Structure 1
Amino acid sequence: MRKWLPLTAVCLGTFMLLVDVTIVVVALPDMAGSLHTSFADLQWVMDIYALALAALLLGLGSLADRVGHRQVYMAGVALFALASLACGLATDPAVLIAFRGVQGIGGAAMLATTTALVARLYQGRDRGVAFGAWGAVSGAASAAGPILGGLLTEYLDWRWIFFVNLPISVLAIAMTARFVPATGGGPRGRGMDLPGMLTFTMAAGALTYALIKGADYGWASGATLGLFGLAAVALLVFLVLEPRRAQPMLDLALFRRGSFTGLMIVAVLLSVAAFSYLAYTSLWLQSVRGMGPVAAGLACLPMSTASFALATLGGRYLHGVSPRLTLGVGMLLIGGGALLMTVIGAGSTWTVLVAGFLVTGIGVGVSMPVLASTAMAAVPPERAGMASGAVNTARQLGNALGIAVLGVVFHAGLTASLRHHGGGLSADALAGGQAAPLIAHTAPARRGTVEHLVHTAFADGLRDVFWVSGVLGVLGGLVALALVRSPMAPSRPPVPRRADEPSIPAAT
């Protein structure tokens, strides 16, 4: 039906920007060889994108409330496309990393506006279906990145992980211009909250950078502590300034409502419990189990398939169910899925993850659309960009926090297992993906013993990671059941269209 064409335009950008969070993971070794640089140096290809998303989402969402959500979305897609082209043509690591950062700015502009656009475009039952489709695309994209990245890198070239964005971007811009009505900005005379944007961006950027690089610098090092200190000071200044602003970037009064606070907590814990451990399971599958990039990516298929299916069905059939129950049950399923994977052992293969991935995918599919739509209901339509930016910032910070915290848990479990079983192996080397070389360079007489030790240590480390993820998922479910209520705000009528705006096509 033609009435879903605007949703298709929005979901194209959503899928593209979320796939690009993880699509480069399996391509980094090929990039390093092609550009004659180290694997460690190219970690910034991932990190700078995540940093831009987390730091700029709230500010760009606030900007979109003032100049129009469609306008900012289309500008974000265009910037994303140009940066993708530059990344694909890059012959120097510094150029690739720089334009990857620009790509992150475009991605932040899209992510800050997609849910606001969906909320404006659809009402009633159609809104539930639309958010279900948006959630299905979001959940599938998060798990599809490594699969697509592996296929493109293995059968074409690593540069195609960027070139593939160009036709999708052109289609997204054309469909948005044709089918998505233009939205006017905020009231005339409504100025930008520049102090709020500056201080929050500094706080989110410093915190994300500290979480990303804390393990490399050392958690107790001066650099890491300095970054955490800068984030704390910038956040404090932000909290002091915002209540004094006539038009604040983030209305702190929303946090007086238990529901909004609960939503932000759930957004953080959802990312930690459902996605942050994927980096360590991928390391185990490739480094220890010897799977290739494509096969390791396909191991995540049960999660993405279940997420896509449940989000699509949930948007259609759970429209009238309280978000308190939907989020609560969804988060409990996410926690339960992680706990199912604690059965991992030294002799386990990828099949030990299937049941947990399926249950987690169901939880993600149930939770993610409701998380977005309930956040939109917390504010009037002209502040939808702020709500979208807030919930997506919480998710991005949750992912960065989760990877950092679970990294510490994984490394501690790995170290404890190696110390308990002996063998003199380096936990740092194993955590850095060097399991196969360490085993290969062991004397033949000890190779079997060392291989068993490596498998045992990885299983012990991952088991701890799954336990922590499971507990945090359950905690998120309890927070949702205790705090989230519906409706959070009275429903507002849609903003009237101007005479010169295109209309949404009628259903056929």
Structure 2
Amino acid sequence: MRKWIPLAAICLGAFMLLVDVSIVNVALPKMSADLNSSFTSLQWVVDIYALTLAALLMVCGSFGDRLGHRRLYLCGLVLFAAASLVCALAPDAATLITARAAQGVGGATMMTSTTALIAGAYQGRDRGAAFGVWGAVNGAAAAIGPVLGGLLTDQFGWRSIFLVNLPIAAVALAMTLGKGLRLPRPHAVEGRVDAAGALAFTVFAAALTYGLIESGSHGWGSTVVQVPLSGAAAALIVFAVVELRVRRPLLDLSLLRNRSFTGLLVGGLLMNAAAFAELTYTSLWLQQALGLSPLDAGLAVSPMAATAFVVALGTGRSLHRFPPQLPIGVGLLFIGTGTLLLTAVSATSGWSALLPGMLVTGVGVGLSTPTLMATALGSVAPQRAGMASGALNTSRQLGYALGIAVLGTIFQQHAHGHSARAAFAAGLHPVFLTAGVTGLVAGVLVLTAVRRPHTTALAHPVATSSAAGAPAGQADNIAR
């Protein structure tokens, strides 16, 4: 049993950071009332966490290759716990948003290290079993997050959703510092981290998200919107120039010539935007328009994650028999169809109107996510697998962040009516429609662009660090 202590420590940390992606949604109305915050502030409480993850995943992987993934995991764990405490004590929305950003930094350092630590701790059948448990924990975090958030908020207030991280982090820290996580020291990657590329990408992601969020309240022609969007375009150009010139780039842009890999990156980005971003506004509708408690709101949206977990668990062993673009592409079509079913929500609907769409979307998530990462790794040369995994995880987190921003703008522009129920229904209809069409487009894109990989990476979905200083390969998960 002692050999599984490292896995337990890693899974505790992974569970904590992934639960925090969804646990906040059902607590937003209580936060808003307590802190007297605006709708835009609510968006940032959710979005800043995903945005920070997206912006820092690749650079944190590079630091892990140079400093050691165990050390990076410990630093991330401590930072995440400290930021959680600040979140719980936040006196205003600005403090909460800042602390959520710090949580994202800690989460990025942990996320880039988990699979490298598992790969270093286990070999052979033990490694396969370890990644199976790790994947199940990721799926469970997605399913439990809304329910746990609702339960804690109902019983102890919204601040408890952050305080619960402290004992979990303490146990994981004790296990990691003890005898449990003695891992072989990997060969250090030489060379400097691509700091210029990391800074340019961070500015691009932050400026783009900020501009999209502010467009809802200020309009597209506002300087508050135009300046950050122009800055995002400039930062993206700088990032491309830097990556073409630096010796060890965060992302080798030549990978984008690979049609399958590019299709998977775009598909992953659109999948998170289509499947998960609208849940933020769905939770607001359930509580502010229907008057459900946080716990009941969490239970109302949990069928999607629960279905995804069951489908992924039941089909995971058989999906390898099919060309990988089929489960991914068909799964995305299910996601698009399920989200379109949510447009049935009207001013007179109850929570049960969500159930058909949630179940169909869950089937799509369960079909597409288990194969997505392995296919991305298999579509590139093995020595680029680490970089590919970092790029895909980044695209998925960025898709979630941008999805919240875009759908929030759409919601604000259409949420009008004589009652809260009417206003929410008017705002949610175009939100669900946009997300549904996005899922369908992503499905068609993957089915037409992605082909069966010809490399051996699919047989070894856990990649080690590449020579270019990329993060270690990461298994996929349902939660984002």
TM tier, shorter chain?
0.7 to 0.9
1:185/1:198 CA distance change after superposition, 3 Å: farther
Distance in 2 of aligned mates of 1:331 and 1:486:
17
1:384/1:159 CA distance change after superposition, 3 Å: farther
The structure number with the bigger radius of gyration is: 1
Distance in 2 of aligned mates of 1:251 and 1:159:
42
Distance in 2 of aligned mates of 1:42 and 1:346:
25
Q: Is the 8 A contact 1:203 1:235 kept in 2?
A: yes
Equivalent position of 2:245 in the other structure: 244
Q: SS of 2:220's equivalent?
A: coil
1:251/1:20 CA distance change after superposition, 3 Å: same
Which residue identity is paired with 1:278? L
Equivalent position of 1:155 in the other structure: 155
Residue 67 of structure 1 deviates from its aligned partner by 3.0
1:10 aligns with 2:19: no
Structure 1 residue runs without a partner (length 5+): 419-424, 436-453, 497-508
Which residue identity is paired with 2:262? T
Distance in 2 of aligned mates of 1:93 and 1:404:
18
Within 5 Å, which residues of 2 pair with 1:317-332? 317-332=318-333
Q: Pick from 186, 189, 193: which aligns with 1:184?
A: 186
Residue 269 of structure 1 deviates from its aligned partner by 1.1
Equivalent position of 2:436 in the other structure: 470
Residue 229 of structure 1 deviates from its aligned partner by 0.8
1:256/1:68 CA distance change after superposition, 3 Å: farther
Residue 280 of structure 1 deviates from its aligned partner by 2.4
Distance in 1 of aligned mates of 2:187 and 2:337:
43
Q: Is the 8 A contact 1:65 1:383 kept in 2?
A: no
Q: Is the 8 A contact 1:344 1:459 kept in 2?
A: yes
Which residue identity is paired with 1:404? A
Residue 32 of structure 1 deviates from its aligned partner by 5.6
Which residue identity is paired with 2:183? P
Within 5 Å, which residues of 2 pair with 1:198-347? 198-347=199-348
Which residue identity is paired with 2:444? L
1:179/1:487 CA distance change after superposition, 3 Å: farther
Distance in 1 of aligned mates of 2:227 and 2:2:
53
1:103/1:407 CA distance change after superposition, 3 Å: closer
Residue 337 of structure 1 deviates from its aligned partner by 1.3
Residue 252 of structure 1 deviates from its aligned partner by 0.9
Q: Which digits, 9 at most, give the CA deviation of each residue in 1:428-469, with x for residues without a partner?
A: xx7xxxx2xxxxxxxxxxxxxxxxxx44x5445433332322
1:468/1:159 CA distance change after superposition, 3 Å: closer
Q: SS of 2:317's equivalent?
A: helix
Percent identity of paired positions between Structure 1 and Structure 2: 53
How many residues in Structure 1 have an aligned counterpart in Structure 2? 459
1:476/1:138 CA distance change after superposition, 3 Å: farther
Residue 72 of structure 1 deviates from its aligned partner by 2.2
Q: SS of 1:191's equivalent?
A: coil
Q: Which digits, 9 at most, give the CA deviation of each residue in 1:26-51, with x for residues without a partner?
A: 434544666x6545585344343233
Distance in 2 of aligned mates of 1:149 and 1:481:
36
Which residue identity is paired with 1:84? S
Distance in 1 of aligned mates of 2:12 and 2:382:
23
Q: Is the 8 A contact 2:120 2:184 kept in 1?
A: no
Which residue identity is paired with 1:473? G
Residue 327 of structure 1 deviates from its aligned partner by 0.8
Q: Is the 8 A contact 1:61 1:388 kept in 2?
A: no
Q: Which moved more, 1:24-33 or 1:63-72?
A: 24-33
Q: Is the 8 A contact 1:379 1:489 kept in 2?
A: yes
Equivalent position of 1:406 in the other structure: 407
Q: Is the 8 A contact 1:64 1:185 kept in 2?
A: no
Distance in 2 of aligned mates of 1:397 and 1:326:
22
Q: Which digits, 9 at most, give the CA deviation of each residue in 1:323-345, with x for residues without a partner?
A: 21221121121112112333334
Distance in 1 of aligned mates of 2:379 and 2:119:
12
Equivalent position of 2:471 in the other structure: none
Residue 228 of structure 1 deviates from its aligned partner by 0.9
Q: What is the TM-score when the length of structure 2 is the normalising length?
A: 0.84
Residue 309 of structure 1 deviates from its aligned partner by 1.5
Q: Is the 8 A contact 2:56 2:202 kept in 1?
A: yes
